[in-house]
Structure 1
Amino acid sequence: MVATPTYGATRDRVEEYFDRTATKTWERLTSDAPVSGIRQTVREGRDRMRAIMLSRLPNDLTGRRVLDAGCGTGAMTEELARRGAEVVAIDISPALVEIAAKRLPEPLARQVTFTSGDMLASDLGAFDHVMAMDSMIYYEAPDLGRALAHLCPRVRESVIFTVAPRTAFLMAFWGLGKLFPRSDRSPTMIPHNPRHLSREATRNGATGSISEIERVSRGFYISTCLEYRA
C-alpha cells in the first residue's frame, strides 16, 4: 500500500467520516428515498458518472476480474456483476460494505467478494480493471501518483477513476463537502489537473498513461472521469 503519512492520515479521516459520521446520510443518498435539492443533484451526478465509467468497459465481463475500489453501498458492484465480472468490492467503511452486501440481489452474490480495508492492499490480487468512483478524490497528487504506480503491476488493462477538477468553483470552495451542513461535511476533496497526476504517476514508476474521459457537472456534483491504461 502507499505507506506515507499523508495517505494514512487521509485514509483515516475518510474512514471516520463514512463509517461513523455519515453512514445513514450515504445510505439514503444512494437509495430511492427523497432527499434535499442539493443532495438530489449529487445523486443525479453520481448516477451519470457511474454510467460514464461503465461505458469504458465491455458489456460482457465474463471471465474478467474487477476491483470496485471504494464500493460504498454497492451500485457499481451490482452493475459489474450483472455484466458477468468476478468482483472484489472493497471499502474503507465496514458499515457501507454491510449495506452493499445486503442490497446485492441474491443471484449475483456468488460473483462478488465483499471486504473492508485499504483499496491498495496487495493481497487483493491482480485485476483486469479497477473502478474507483469518488474514492481517490481526497488524496494529494503525490499520493495518487504512488497509488497508480502501486496498482500498475497488478492491473492488466485499465484503472478508471474520478477526481475533482481544478475549476474556479471548486477552487473557491475547496471541496464539495463544504456545501453541506457542518455535521455532514465530508473530508476535504482535492482538485487535480490530469496532466499533473500523469507526471506524478510516471515519477513513481507507473508505465501507462492517463487520459481525461468526461466531466460531469450536475448542480453540486462536479467530477472528472480519468482512465489509466497499463
Structure 2
Amino acid sequence: MPDYSTTLSRVEDYFDRSATKVWERLTSDAPVSRIRQTVREGRDRMRALMLSRLPYDLRGTRILDAGCGAGQMTAELAARGADVLAVDISPALVKIARERLPASLRGRVEFASGDMTADYGRFDHVVAMDSLIYYDTHDICAALARLGARTEGAVVFTVAPRTPFLLTFWSMGKLFPRSDRSPTMVPHAHSRLQAQCQGAGQISKVDRVSRGFYISECLEYRR
C-alpha cells in the first residue's frame, strides 16, 4: 500500500492534470452521461447530508473545507454565514472554485492549495467530502488526528464502504495497475476504522449514499 505522501502526489497529479476538465463538467450543470449523472446526483445527496450535520446558522464559525474540489460545499458553507478556508491539493480545481464563487460570498472564503491536513489554525468544524477515500486506515487515522486536534466540533468526512461492488473495483485496480489510471479508492469498514483510531477519538456512522456508480459513507470524528 503506498504511503500518505505517495498517494497525495498521485491524487494531485490526477485532479490537476488528468481529470480537471472531467470534474469541472461533472460539478456544473452541463449535460453528462447517465453514469456520470448518477455520480453527480450521489455527490449532491452526500453534500446535503454532510451539511445537515452542522448548525444551519454558521455565522461566527470558521470551517475547513478539506478537499474543496470545485467549491460546491464551500459556497454553501459561506452562504450559511461561515468563514471558510477551502483547501485542495489541486491548484487547477482551486482556481475553478475561486472563479465560481459568487461575488457576494468572496469576503467569507479564503482559498489555498496544498495538503488539507496542514496546520491552518483552529476551526469550529471540518468537512472532508470524498477527499480521504484514496488512503489506507493508518493514513486516515493520522489525518483525522491532525484535523481533530485543531477542531472544536466534529470532523465530518466520507469513506468508500466495504461493499462487494467497490471491493471488486479495488481488487481489479491492484491486479492490473496502469500508470495512467485514476487513484484507487480504498474501501473501509466503520468498525475497523474505529478500532484503529480508538486512541485518538470516536468515529460514528451517519449514513450511506448509494446512487448508481456513486457509493460513499458519511462518518463523524470527534476527539
- Cα deviation per residue 1:160-203 (whole Å; 9 max; x = unaligned)? 0000000111111118999xxx9985200000011211222234
User: For 2:210, which of 204, 207, 217 is the aligned residue?
Assistant: 217
Aligned to 1:50: 47
Task: Write the letter of the residue equivalent to 2:198.
Answer: T
Do residues 24 (structure 1) and 21 (structure 2) align? yes
CA spacing shift, 1:114–1:156, aligned 2, 3 Å: same
- CA pair 73-184 structure 1, distance change in 2 beyond 3 A: farther
1:113 equivalenced with 2:110 (yes/no): yes
Local SS of the residue matching 1:139: coil
Q: C-alpha deviations, 1:4-23, integer Å up to 9, x for none?
A: x7000000000000000000
Question: Paired residues, what number?
Answer: 219
Q: Percent identity of the aligned residues?
A: 67
Q: Structure 1's 42 and 184: CA in aligned 2 closer, same or farther, altered over 3 A?
A: farther
For residues 155 and 198 of structure 1, the distance between their equivalents in structure 2, rounded to whole angstroms, comes to 19
* Structure-2 separation of matches of 1:6 and 1:184: 19
Corresponding residue to 1:138 among 125, 134, 142: 134
Counterpart CA distance in 2 for 1:162 and 1:153 is: 19
The 2-side partners of 1:119 and 1:130 are apart by 10
Amino acid at match of 2:219: L
Amino acid of the structure 2 residue aligned with 1:195: S
CA contact (8 A) 1:177 1:189 kept: no
**Residues of 2 paired with 1:149 and 1:37: CA distance?**
38
- TM normalised by structure 2 equals 0.94
Match of 2:101 among 104, 119, 131: 104
> In structure 2, the residue corresponding to 1:73 is in which secondary structure?
coil
Question: Map of 1:65-76 to 2, 5 A cutoff?
Answer: 65-76=62-73
Are the aligned partners of 1:175 and 1:190 in contact in 2 as well (CA < 8 Å)? no
2:222 is aligned with 1:229:
yes
Q: Which amino acid counterpart does residue 143 of structure 1 have in structure 2?
A: D
Larger CA deviation: 5-14 vs 184-193: 184-193
Cα-to-partner distance string for 1:93-114 (whole Å, 9 max, x where unaligned): 0000000000000010000000
Letter in 1 for 2:187: P
TM-score normalised by length of structure 1: 0.91
C-alpha displacement at 1:150, in angstroms?
Answer: 1.5
Change beyond 3 A, Cα 1:223–1:175 = farther
User: Are 2:165 and 1:169 equivalent residues in the alignment?
Assistant: yes
Aligned partner of residue 202 in structure 1, secondary structure? coil
Pick closer, same or farther for the CA change 1:25–1:17 going to 2, 3 Å: same
Q: Tell me which stretches of 4 or more aligned residues in structure 1 moved more than 3 Å.
A: 175-178, 182-185
Aligned with 1:109: secondary structure?
Answer: helix
Distance 1:165-1:104 versus aligned 2 partners, 3 A rule: same
What is the CA–CA distance in structure 1 between the aligned matches of 2:3 and 2:196, rounded to whole Å?
A: 15
Unaligned runs of 5+ in 1: none
C-alpha contact 1:176 1:189 (8 A) present in aligned 2: no
Matched, 1:158 2:151: no
1:26 aligned partner, one-letter code: W
